[in-house]
Chains A and B, each alone.
Chain A
Amino acid sequence: MASFVRAAAVASALAPEVLPDLPLPPAGGDWTRRAENIARAVAAALKGKAGLTEGEWQQLPCLVGSSSHFIGAREAQPDATLGPPAEFAAQLARWFGTSGPAMAVNTACTSGLTALGLARDMVESGACKHALVLGVELANRLTGAGFAALGLLSATKARPCDLDRDGLVLGEAFGAVVVSVSGPWRIAAAEIRVDPSGFAAPAPNETIIAQVMGAALSAAGWKEIDLLKLQAGGSPAGDLAEARAVRSTFAVPPRLVSFKGAIGHTLGASGPAELALLIDALARGIVPPTSGFAQVDPELGLEPKAGDARSVRRVLFNLAGFGGHVASVALEKS
């Protein structure tokens, strides 16, 4: 059985070039109340697009990809007992009005795509007809402090693939996707692997990225694609590794786009969040501009380009995560 992206919605930083469904409210105040408000708003947007019956919606299993879960709610009370992250997933499911099984998925920046891969397994094996995938990364100090300690952040802005790129900019997002037995985009492959050298390395391994893209293309039965959604977050070493992998995979690089200049690197949320932005843009017939990109870096040799998307049918969607998880998902227009 095949699986499809049926609908997607996202709340993120307000970026006119990518038009998220909802802007995020300002951070601050009660963390849990803010998370609930965002979740309920995204749920309403997604429900309107998914076209499921009330009964189908209520039965949705809920898979939540996040690297921080509800840690933002605990920062004010560090000695408090930490509840299990599965309870965070169950809480999100309740806010979405679903009562199927809930699980939290944690593979760092690829968490949301790993959740999508597991949802695909559930749909394609016949365990369910539809599954809800959430990617959630909401304000907390710990994540920013951890990335700052690693020296990975830009002092200015994210410039994916750009000659002057100097680091990541972290962002918040709440992305939601319904994976289903039918929908406008077939999930032709979802490859997610671990780089054995990943944890100690300063950047993702270009060989592993190329292997994962190659595996996704092979599983999909494709040699060429119409669009590649890059991981490209503006990290000097990370963008270079991905560029080398792209050049070794394709004789001529396909059309390229990155969303991290527009909404920041939203870590575990980035899969569902960027997927929602992408399929919305493609539905509007455009490949959006890659915010932050201005000058080609000759060492990378990649030039993201905006433009007409009406001919886009096959898309490869890349993510590479802290700790060595690398993902590539192949999507085909139904």
Chain B
Amino acid sequence: MTFLVAPTVLRLAPDELAARTRERFGGELRRAGSFAQLCLLGAQACLDAAPAGRSLGVLWASSHGARSAARAALQEAASGEPVMPFTFVATQPHLAATLLAQRSAPVARAAFVHIDPSGWPRLLSLAQVWLASCEQVLVGWAEEAAEGEAHQSDWCVLQKNPGEVTCEPLREARGALPATSADWLARVAAWLAAPRETLSLRGGGEAWRFAAGR
């Protein structure tokens, strides 16, 4: 059986990100751009709320990824300025993984993927497989804000040890409520505040059922 613990939903105005990061980590995170900061803030809040484990997988996703860093690198290159190594393509997710690995149980596996927002159940399916080699898997979704929106950094831990919520894939998606990367974990967290019957959510042709655990 698979258990989901510490569902953590973070929404943050873009202009609050740097201050919140400094507050939580006691200073600047060297080289970390907004995407790495956002990932780390949400992931750390989740780990703070989860029971400690001995080995951790980290599997997280985003639709757009480090959008502001990519835009900055393109503009640097277009203006003829040197492209700085810590904004050029693809470095911010790795920086987040490295910074997290410095602060967590040993990271046995890590992968950052880009999936369509309806594909969030794929993360749970893969994380369930990873539980064969990791005691816990930290599963997340981070999205830098588009204009006028809030940053998103939603995380939970999947584990085999009993916890707040049991979760399992459903063979049949019919009857499950539609959800996306923007709201599936928020709905689990809201349901957990007053769990009644099971909660079934679907996306991308797959569905998962959540029930009270322990």
Contact string against B for A residues 41-84, beta-carbon threshold 8 Å, 1 for contact and 0 otherwise:
00000000000000000000000000111010011001100101
Shortest Cβ distance from B13 into chain A, in angstroms? 22
B94, A325: Cβ atoms closer than 8 Å: yes
**B129 to A193, Cβ gap below 8 A?**
no
Interface residues of A in 69-109 (CB under 8 A from B): 69, 71, 74-75, 78-79, 82, 84-86, 89-90, 101-108
User: Are the C-beta atoms of A118 and B98 separated by less than 8 Å?
Assistant: no
Asked whether any CB of chain B lies closer than 8 Å to the CB of A228, the reply is no
Q: What chain B residues lie within 8 Å of A325 (beta carbons)?
A: 94, 97, 110
How many Å from the CB of B107 to the closest CB on chain A?
Answer: 5
Chain B residues whose C-beta falls within 8 Å of the C-beta of A197 in the assembled complex: 98, 102
Docked complex Cα distance between A303 and B128 (Å): 42
Q: How far is B73's CA from A74's CA once the two chains are assembled, in angstroms?
A: 11
Stretch in contact with the other chain, from A14-22, A121-129, A153-161, A241-249: A121-129
Query: Which residue of chain A is the closest to B78 with respect to CB atoms?
Result: A78
Partner of B70, one of A82, A117, A125, A322: A82
| Contact present for B91 and A322 (CB under 8 Å) | yes
| B97 cross-chain contacts in A, Cβ below 8 A | 107, 194, 323-325
A196 x B101 contact (CB < 8 A): yes
Closest to B31 in A: A199
Within 40-66 of B, Cβ neighbours of A (below 8 Å) are at 58, 63-65
- In the complex, the answer to whether B83 meets A146 with C-beta atoms within 8 Å is yes
- Tell me whether A149 and B119 are in contact (CB under 8 A): no
Given contacts A108-B94, A324-B98, contact A78 B65 (CB under 8 A): no
Give residues of chain A (132-190) contacting chain B, Cβ–Cβ below 8 Å. Answer: 140-143, 145-147, 149-150
What sequence of 0s and 1s flags, for each residue 56-98 of chain B, a beta carbon within 8 Å of any chain A beta carbon? 0010000111010011011101100011110011110111011
Kindly state whether residue A198 has any CB partner on chain B within 8 Å. yes
Please give the distance in Å from B195's CB to the nearest CB on chain A: 28
* Known interface pairs A150-B85, A195-B98; A103-B119 also in contact (CB < 8 Å): yes
Q: A105: shortest Cβ distance to chain B, in Å? A: 5
List the A side residues contacting B91 at CB < 8 Å.
Answer: 108, 146, 322-323
Bound-state Cα–Cα, A69 to B74, Å: 13
Whether a CB of chain A sits under 8 angstroms from the CB of B177 is: no
CB of B126 within 8 A of chain A?
Answer: yes
Contacts A103-B114, A192-B109: A108 and B84 contacting too (C-beta < 8 A)? no
B125 sits at the interface (CB 8 A) = yes
Return A50 CB to nearest CB of chain B, in Å. 23
Q: Could you say which residues of chain A place their CB within 8 Å of the CB of B67?
A: 82
Bound: A121/B113 CA distance, A: 15
What is the size, in residues, of chain A's interface with B at 8 Å between Cβ atoms? 55
CA distance A320 to B1 in the complex (A): 35
Cross-chain contact of B65 among A85, A121, A321 (Cβ < 8 A): A85
CA distance A79 to B126 in the complex (A): 35
Closest to A141 in B: B77
Cβ 8 A contact of B114, one of A106, A141, A268: A106
**Closest residue of B by beta carbon distance from A201:** B98
Closest to B115 in A: A103
> Which of A84, A107, A125 interacts with B63 by CB under 8 Å?
A84
CB atoms of A142 and B73 under 8 A apart? yes
Contact call A105/B77, Cβ cutoff below 8 A? no
Q: Which residues of B contact A318 (CB under 8 A)?
A: none
- Residues of B contacting A321 in the complex (Cβ-Cβ under 8 angstroms): 94
CA distance in complex: A67, B88 (Å): 10
Q: Is A196 within 8 A of B115, CB to CB? A: no
- Is A114 close to B, CB under 8 A? yes
Is B114 touching A196 in the complex (CB atoms < 8 A)?
no
Contact of A74 among B30, B31, B65, B74 (CB under 8 A): B74
Chain B CB within 10 A, most for which of A71, A114, A142, A194: A194
Q: A145-B77, A323-B98 are in contact. Are A108 and B90 (CB under 8 A)?
A: yes
Complexed CA–CA distance, A111 and B91 (Å): 12
Q: Are B75 and A78 in contact, CB atoms less than 8 angstroms apart?
A: yes
Identify the interface centre among A67, A121, A125, A140: most chain B CB within 10 Å of its CB. A121
Question: Which residues in chain B, 150-194, are within 8 Å of chain A measured between CB atoms?
Answer: none
Chain A residues near B (Cβ < 8 Å): 67-69, 71, 74-75, 78-79, 82, 84-86, 89-90, 101-108, 111, 114, 117-118, 121-122, 124-125, 127, 140-143, 145-147, 149-150, 192-200, 268, 321-325
What are 24 contact pairs spanning A and B, CB under 8 A? A78-B74, A78-B77, A78-B78, A82-B70, A82-B71, A84-B64, A85-B114, A86-B114, A90-B116, A102-B116, A103-B119, A104-B114, A105-B112, A106-B65, A107-B111, A108-B91, A108-B94, A118-B113, A125-B125, A146-B89, A194-B94, A197-B102, A200-B30, A325-B97
Given contact pairs A78-B75, A107-B97, A142-B73, a sample of 20 additional A-B residue pairs in the complex whose CB atoms are under 8 Å apart: A71-B89, A74-B74, A82-B71, A84-B63, A85-B114, A89-B114, A104-B113, A108-B94, A118-B113, A124-B129, A125-B128, A140-B89, A141-B77, A142-B88, A147-B85, A193-B109, A194-B58, A194-B107, A323-B91, A324-B97
